[in-house]
Chain A
């Protein structure tokens, strides 16, 4: 079975095909540049100015905000906390999402369509309402604590909300659909015969997973992880509500600067740095993957 047709591509005459694709990409790049790139550049330009009043900036250029940010351990801890949150959320989404995606990809049940719908159902409820719906579940006298105390596992209610734990739970819940859906569409393109063949050759399920399934579904794993990571580090509503405004991550800090202090340079600086760090991380992840030889 051909992995990506590269063997066949080699047999084709070397035409100007690669350049053509660049032209195909251009219109979309232009659109994104216009609706995202330009506005963002405009806003980030603000970050090299001084704040002279709420939502106002002076004309003088300064790198003071950047210097203050990267030399202050408080901010660096905030960045670390943000990325840690992202990694945790990705890890849980993968750990939970992969088995579910595998099941959905392989099942022959006629309820598969509805199950896929169930997977995206959390996203149908508006973020704010969804987050408020967690309080009766995760609160001190909520469902989870009630169950755990009734069966005697704990004596004191666990603190599951208005803290970092609550944020992780909320984000995993909201982003799991993305991971599952991405993984399902990729896994279902992996021929089950491959797994059967490996099993017939004597490989146990763990080995089949490690040596056959995972490598072949890796693009989906990376794609899903990048998506979930990006959304987790830029999420605002969930960390604010489920974190009880006690969990300071980049997005809640930026929101605070943009919406209440109205210090655009400070907010713009944080946004620019967040984008920079996250983009570097993404580039790294993509490089690591393409070393494996998969396309895209």
Chain B
């Protein structure tokens, strides 16, 4: 009985996690009222009728997401190490500060960024509103904290002896960092980057205020559309994203082995 408890919880959790996703995918093929369950008929017409605006918005979202993940990782990893290893006054406070963007509703950040972009325009003439770089900067406000959090957590059981050993064998500090420190932290870095990407893909408030026009992300498109009506094509787009991610994951698993990303387990 006890042996089944753990897999049982895991299985039930997976059902819980997948439930709304399954509903969305099933609804995308529903020929009747999209949200009726059980579905009343099968059709692929929602997929055929996807508004090209959604596809362009998806492109924008992916570009912004990848850029956010990359830049957040580049900024976040050194900061995380500094917070984890350093011994200086106010370290805990700085740690809190680095987490603080996540405690502020994204809406507030979005409005603040919009107002700020106007001030920036006043001073420098650079317009950040309605541009992809502006969006990336806006998303980095939560991307960086995510990466920092994930890497600090993963650093907790970091065995410094490994670095000692590498240096004793003649490696330079840079080599040590690259060949020893980073690989050990890899799973945490990857999970932080994934969070940053996914949160960027999901964000509405910041993209609503900072983006616009050509720089409209998919969630914002969906958001402004559902105010009016709820087309099955929204479900179709959402399902496509899930499907594309599954394909991507399968490919990665085949080529590289997903294990590589999440690190070997013990």
- Chain B hits for A234, CB < 8 A: 102-106
Q: Is B170 at the interface (CB under 8 A from chain A)?
A: no
In the bound complex, do residue A182 and residue B149 qualify as a contact, i.e. CB atoms below 8 Å apart? yes
In the bound complex, do residue A220 and residue B156 qualify as a contact, i.e. CB atoms below 8 Å apart? yes
Smallest CB–CB gap between B123 and chain A, Å? 12
Residue of chain B at shortest CB distance from A86: B103
- Chain A hits for B264, CB < 8 A: 188
Smallest CB–CB gap between B72 and chain A, Å? 10
| Alpha-carbon gap, A36 to B259, bound state (A) | 35
Within 8 A of A (CB), among B164-193: 164, 187-188, 191
| Alpha-carbon gap, A296 to B155, bound state (A) | 8
Smallest CB–CB gap between B139 and chain A, Å? 9
Q: Is B46 at the interface (CB under 8 A from chain A)?
A: no
Residue of chain B at shortest CB distance from A184: B262
With known contacts A40-B109, A185-B150, A283-B96, A32–B9 Cβ distance under 8 A: no
- Chain B hits for A91, CB < 8 A: none
Residue of chain B at shortest CB distance from A264: B111
Smallest CB–CB gap between A4 and chain B, Å? 7
Smallest CB–CB gap between B202 and chain A, Å? 5
| Alpha-carbon gap, A173 to B51, bound state (A) | 29
In the bound complex, do residue A125 and residue B115 qualify as a contact, i.e. CB atoms below 8 Å apart? no
Q: Is B112 at the interface (CB under 8 A from chain A)?
A: yes
In the bound complex, do residue A185 and residue B191 qualify as a contact, i.e. CB atoms below 8 Å apart? yes
| Alpha-carbon gap, A119 to B137, bound state (A) | 28
Which one of A121, A134, A173, A286 has the greatest number of beta carbons of chain B within 10 Å?
A121
A-B CB contacts (within 8 Å), total count: 351
- Chain B 118-146: CB-based contact to A (< 8 A → 1; otherwise 0): 01000000000000000001101100101
Residue of chain B at shortest CB distance from A296: B84
| Alpha-carbon gap, A107 to B10, bound state (A) | 12
In the bound complex, do residue A125 and residue B242 qualify as a contact, i.e. CB atoms below 8 Å apart? yes
Residue of chain B at shortest CB distance from A278: B103
| Alpha-carbon gap, A43 to B116, bound state (A) | 9
- Chain A hits for B149, CB < 8 A: 182, 223, 226-227
Which one of A125, A130, A216, A231 has the greatest number of beta carbons of chain B within 10 Å?
A125
| Alpha-carbon gap, A98 to B31, bound state (A) | 40
Smallest CB–CB gap between B201 and chain A, Å? 8
Of the candidate stretches A64-72, A150-158, A267-275, the one touching chain B is A267-275
In the bound complex, do residue A114 and residue B83 qualify as a contact, i.e. CB atoms below 8 Å apart? no
| Alpha-carbon gap, A107 to B235, bound state (A) | 34
A-B contact pairs, 8 of them (CB 8 A): A3-B157, A29-B94, A35-B141, A40-B109, A133-B23, A181-B191, A182-B153, A182-B191
Residues of chain B having any CB pair with chain A under 8 Å? 2, 6-7, 9-10, 13-14, 16-21, 23-24, 27, 35-37, 75-76, 78-88, 92-109, 111-113, 115-116, 119, 137-138, 140-141, 144, 146, 148-150, 152-161, 164, 187-188, 191, 194-195, 198-199, 201-202, 204-205, 218-219, 222-223, 226, 230, 234-235, 238, 241-242, 245-246, 249-250, 253, 257-259, 261-266
- Top 5 nearest A-B pairs (CB, nearest first) are A113-B258, A5-B160, A21-B86, A296-B84, A219-B156
